Structure 1
């Protein structure tokens, strides 16, 4: 009886590990989509509604997914803190503070380079920065979807198969 319970626990835990590993791919895709969506809203707020970056960040913090919303909230708070931070510095600090956004290093690098262009030029050049960043993130999204198709199923099946292999070894 104890042996059967042990086998079930081994199988369940290895399967869970496989599913958690595959979940990272899903979360990355979801996060990139949320960032792309929020960037579209941000450029609209800045160009057409002509509100300040801190106001736009605050607005987005309320409507974006939790991780992305936290990024915008921190950036808004830094800009409103009257400590003399520029928009690009506030964005970089917020990216560092928010922690794990389920993104890889290339995604973070793109977001940091986007931040370097924030608030440094007129609206026309800001719009070009947004479009360029959106194109880069769309490419990252396409890569993430490819990786996801390839690896999600692999990790799920691998988790189950490793569990079965461990059970067979202990029999």
Structure 2
């Protein structure tokens, strides 16, 4: 009876580990979609609402959830401090929030380059920079969806199967 309980615990722990290891594959496309929605909202706020960057960032942060909301909230807080340019505030926010995300280096570079243009150009140029970032993020979203389809199920199964292997080795 004790052996059976131990085997069930090992299998549960290994399966849980597999699910945790698969989490970034599931979260990355979702977070990229949130970024796409956030940048589209930012474009609308700036272009059509003529909303200041600080207020637009706060509104976007309230619309979203998770680390992407934290990114825009932190950005708004950095802008409120008034100690830095919009680009510097964006980069500081990225560095602060980045460890919480499931995003990769490519997305970081896209967002960093986008941040360098914030507040430095007129409305039309700013819109072009937002559209460029959106295009790059759409490409990354397609790649993330492929990686999710290819790897998520495999990693989950690998966790379960490694638990079975460990049970067999210990018996």
Match of 1:108 in 2: 108
Match of 1:89 in 2: 88
1:51 and 2:51 matched: yes
1:21 and 2:21 matched: yes
Q: Measure, in 2, the Cα distance between the counterparts of 1:88 and 1:106.
A: 18
Can you list the C-alpha shifts for 1:32-88, whole angstroms capped at 9, x where unaligned? 0000001000000000000111111011111111211111111111111122x1111
**In the comparison of the two structures, how many residue pairs are matched?**
170
TM-score, length-scaled by structure 2: 0.96
1:79 and 2:90 matched: no
Match of 2:124 in 1: 124
**Helix, strand or coil at the partner of 2:100:** coil
**Helix, strand or coil at the partner of 1:45:** helix
Q: Measure, in 2, the Cα distance between the counterparts of 1:36 and 1:57.
A: 14
**Helix, strand or coil at the partner of 2:145:** helix
Structure 2, unmatched stretches of 5+, are none
1:161 and 2:129 matched: no
| Structure 1 runs of 4+ with >6 Å offset | none
Structure 1, unmatched stretches of 5+, are none
Match of 1:4 in 2: 4
How far is the alpha carbon of 1:167 from its aligned partner? Answer: 0.7
Q: Bigger shift: 146-155 or 74-83?
A: 74-83
Q: Bigger shift: 43-52 or 62-71?
A: 62-71
How far is the alpha carbon of 1:111 from its aligned partner? Answer: 0.7
Q: Measure, in 1, the Cα distance between the counterparts of 2:49 and 2:156.
A: 46
Q: Measure, in 1, the Cα distance between the counterparts of 2:80 and 2:23.
A: 36
Match of 2:66 in 1: 66
Q: Measure, in 2, the Cα distance between the counterparts of 1:82 and 1:67.
A: 23
